[in-house]
Amino acid sequence: MSKGKVVLAYSGGLDTSCILVWLKEQGYDVITYLANIGQDEDFEAARKKAESLGAKKVFIEDLRTEFVEDFIWPAVQANAVYEDRYLLGTAVARPCIARRQVEIARREGAQYVSHGATGKGNDQIRFELTCYALYPEVKIIAPWRIPEFYNRFRGRTDLMEYAREHGIPVPVTPRAPWSMDANLMHIRSELFLSGSESRAPADLYLMTKNPEDSPNVQDVLEIEFKKGVPVKVTNMNDGISKNTALDVFSYLNEIGGKHGVGRIDIVENRFIGMKSRGIYETPGGTVLLKAHLDIETFTMDKEVRRIKQGLGIKFSELVYNGFWYSPECNFVRHCIAKSQENVEGKVQLSVLKGQVYILGRESPKSLYNEELVSMDVQGDYDPCDASGFIRINAVRLREHHRLQGLSSTKQ
């Protein structure tokens, strides 16, 4: 008698292969689901592996376009950065993956979903909050939080042994001393057993060239935005041009990666209240962040920008913490999208040796008025007005000083 169907987020790796077999052992019918969000993976090999391990069904889903359009683009509009540095490449991928998993679970009549995320990380939260939000009755099996599982598999050796016993193919190359999460937007690496002060090994980086070795000739790109989203990128060096969401983003990854753009090594605060170290490569996302910041400030009213900046920080926290599918994140996304209506125009930038330099920008919606700002043209602006402006702003400061004078006189 089956305990029911479970849709397992399957990566093809050792962990989730063991979980697949373990779930079968527990009496579940296992459906595996593997999302293609741009990671470097042999999807057909993974399919065969899952089938050979007893998956009742295997779903391999190409989510790359929806990942870019539905998840990366809103992050670009928001200038989404967590704790001033992390561009949220993993955080925006989780709701994308879980959304489809839940669709499959509903379609297949599965009551359960499962995943291989650890019990100390953010990903379990991002994954499960999405599942609960979109499929509130779902039951979630998180083996790394189930004592029978994690007490049995106390380390990699236990997994390897279990794999050998159950005919699960075992990786032949030794494991790198870091874990990795890769998708179209970024690669995140976490060093094992390392202090915060040890340096990341050079071969950890896969998406970006070492800036020391990258070309000393810049690429000059022109990125065109509409409604705060890139619609076209052109390389001014060779005229190459892209204009679909997936192509634009992939091309920015290519150019950014070639020049070593978007590497950071940070300690960040997990939702769960602990600090962890992460090393990230986000080439295309970093180029886009710089370009979007530029065209946004160019076309957006100053005070709208201030309010929107606060909403962007809120958005980043929500996404980091796993609340993409929450009423508040819906609300914030709506507000941010509203703010982007006039964020339109072209940004020219140079990419070189790990850096992105803005060279210029133009826009039909620009609020930049060359004549108004010119030091040589007076235009409609009367400099005398500034005297009044300053003096009124000083009323409060002078009163404050007066009071302090009174206090100090008294003392």
276 binds a copy of itself (CB under 8 A): yes
Contacts of 140 (CB under 8 A, 6+ apart): 112, 113, 114, 115, 128, 131, 132
397 binds a copy of itself (CB under 8 A): yes
Minimum distance of a copy of itself from residue 273's CB (angstroms): 3
- Pick the stretch among 50-58, 93-101, 103-111, 185-193 that binds a copy of itself (CB under 8 A): 185-193
Minimum distance of a copy of itself from residue 148's CB (angstroms): 12
Say which of 11, 29, 114, 123 is annotated catalytic: 123
- Looking at the Cβ atoms of 81 and 246, the one nearer to a copy of itself is 81
> Is there a catalytic annotation at residue 94?
yes
- Looking at the Cβ atoms of 170 and 267, the one nearer to a copy of itself is 267
- Pick the stretch among 68-76, 92-100, 232-240, 323-331 that binds a copy of itself (CB under 8 A): 323-331
Contacts of 345 (CB under 8 A, 6+ apart): 224, 225, 295, 298, 299, 361, 362, 363, 364, 365, 366
Task: Give the gyration radius of the chain's Cα atoms.
Answer: 26
**Residue from 212, 238, 408, 409 that binds a copy of itself (CB under 8 A)?**
212
The residues in 289-318 that bind a copy of itself, with binding defined as CB under 8 A, are 293-294, 297-298, 301-311, 313-314, 317
202 binds a copy of itself (CB under 8 A): no
Q: Which long-range contacts (CB under 8 A, 24 or more apart) does 273-280 make?
A: 274/120, 276/190, 277/190, 277/191, 277/194, 277/196, 278/86, 278/188, 278/189, 278/190, 279/178, 279/188, 279/189, 279/190, 279/191, 279/200, 279/204, 280/86, 280/87, 280/89, 280/186, 280/187, 280/188, 280/189
- Pick the stretch among 3-11, 89-97, 98-106, 392-400 that binds a copy of itself (CB under 8 A): 392-400
Number of shown-chain residues binding a copy of itself (CB under 8 A) = 130
Element (H, E) at 56: none
Say which of 94, 99, 263, 333 is annotated catalytic: 94
